[in-house]
Chains A and B, each alone.
Chain A
Amino acid sequence: MNDTSNNAGSSNSPLGVGGNIFPGQIHETPGGGIVLSKLDDLINWARSNSLWPLTFATSCCGIEYMAVAGAKYDFSRFGFEVARASPRQADVIIIAGTIVNKMAPVLKRLYDQMADPKYVIAMGACAISGGPFFYNTYSVVKGADHVIPVDVYVAGCPPRPEALIHALMSLQEKIKMGLTREQIKDGK
């Protein structure tokens, strides 16, 4: 057992649970073990498992978002713990609903106030493209990515809670792989 190196993601690993693979190798030694990993990977792994969303919902997608936060679906199981009412304490903003022209500067400001690293999920048709309002409207922004950059898009009108959970976990995967927009920009 001394010289075998386990991939921590295997099912018998003490650190890996399900798809949440610990980025590194564990060398077991008598009376303990040694963990080998890259600091960047370790930080990404830690960050991805503690993403606190901002309380931000502009229309009906917000109801589904609340369902995901509630007891039945419960995104705290995956590290989304608790929605923060202040952008300064939030890591991820879930754009749950229509963004109108008057809301756009508010959204931009909230995004600017969030501390790095920050991530964005566009939830539902309105946040992706303007949704049912994309045709001939005087007030709706046709896609929240006209205002702030988006990491993950969730289709649906509104998306089911499962779809939002899938999006949240996709975001975690992206962070772990170092493939979010911010990570690529910083060359990490």
Chain B
Amino acid sequence: MQNEELKTRITELLPTATFDESGEWLNIMIAPQDWLLFATNFRNETNLFFDHLFCLTCIDWKTHLCMVYHLSSTKFRHNIVVKSILDNTNPAIETVSHIWQTANFHEREVYEMFGVNFLNHPDLRLLILPDGWEGKNPMRKDFEDPINMIRL
């Protein structure tokens, strides 16, 4: 499905979604509270069929966080990027680990690195950081090494 068709179909599903086509793939901006329903539709709609979540990450823009989901369809070979802006102080978004299994580990990583709280995640605990890690999330821009910080 080409971008224009995708846009039409997605606008039907969610009229409040906005688009950005400046990049390689179609970017869709959505509100965090719409994400769970939206993701379910993306996965199950017969003519969208985004069965592959190939990247899940987060960006710290200092003023806010932005969740980024890269979706692909192995059947139709079309890709989209879903972005959702989160609050800086208390970021939270619904988990999609029951829709795409791969999100389980990716969300755990984003949880420990950025401090995003994934609601209803089955196993939200540290993935890479050592057990008992305390302090800030390392990938946040305001992170400072608590042990051996060298200021430049």
Residues of A within 8 A of B148 (CB): 142
Q: In the complex the two chains form, is B130's CB within 8 Å of A136's CB?
A: no
Q: Is B143 an interface residue (CB 8 A)?
A: yes
From A101, A134, A142, contact of B130 by CB (8 A) = A101
Question: In chain A, residues 9-26, which have Cβ atoms closer than 8 Å to a Cβ of chain B?
Answer: none
* Complex: chain B residue closest to A138, CB-CB: B138
Q: In the complex the two chains form, is A134's CB within 8 Å of B150's CB?
A: yes
State the main secondary structure of chain B at its contact with A: loop
Q: Is A139 an interface residue (CB 8 A)?
A: yes
Q: Is B144 an interface residue (CB 8 A)?
A: yes
* Complex: chain A residue closest to B137, CB-CB: A138
Per-residue contact bits, chain B 128-152, to A (CB 8 Å; 1 contact, 0 not): 0110000000100001110011101
Question: In chain B, residues 93-152, which have Cβ atoms closer than 8 Å to a Cβ of chain A?
Answer: 129-130, 138, 143-145, 148-150, 152
Whole-angstrom distance from the CB of B44 to the nearest CB of chain A?
39
B interface residue count range (under 10 / 10 to 19 / 20 to 34 / 35 or more): 10 to 19
Distance in angstroms between the alpha carbons of A71 and B73 in the assembled complex: 48
Residues of B within 8 A of A139 (CB): 138
Residues of B within 8 A of A102 (CB): 130
12 contacts between A and B (CB under 8 A): A101-B130, A102-B130, A134-B150, A135-B150, A135-B152, A136-B143, A136-B144, A136-B149, A136-B150, A138-B129, A138-B145, A142-B148
Task: A136-B143, A138-B129 are known; give 15 further A-B pairs, CB within 8 A.
Answer: A101-B130, A102-B130, A134-B150, A135-B150, A135-B152, A136-B144, A136-B145, A136-B149, A136-B150, A137-B145, A138-B138, A138-B143, A138-B145, A139-B138, A142-B148
Q: Give the 4 A-B residue pairs with the shortest CB-CB distance, closest first.
A: A138-B138, A136-B145, A135-B150, A142-B148
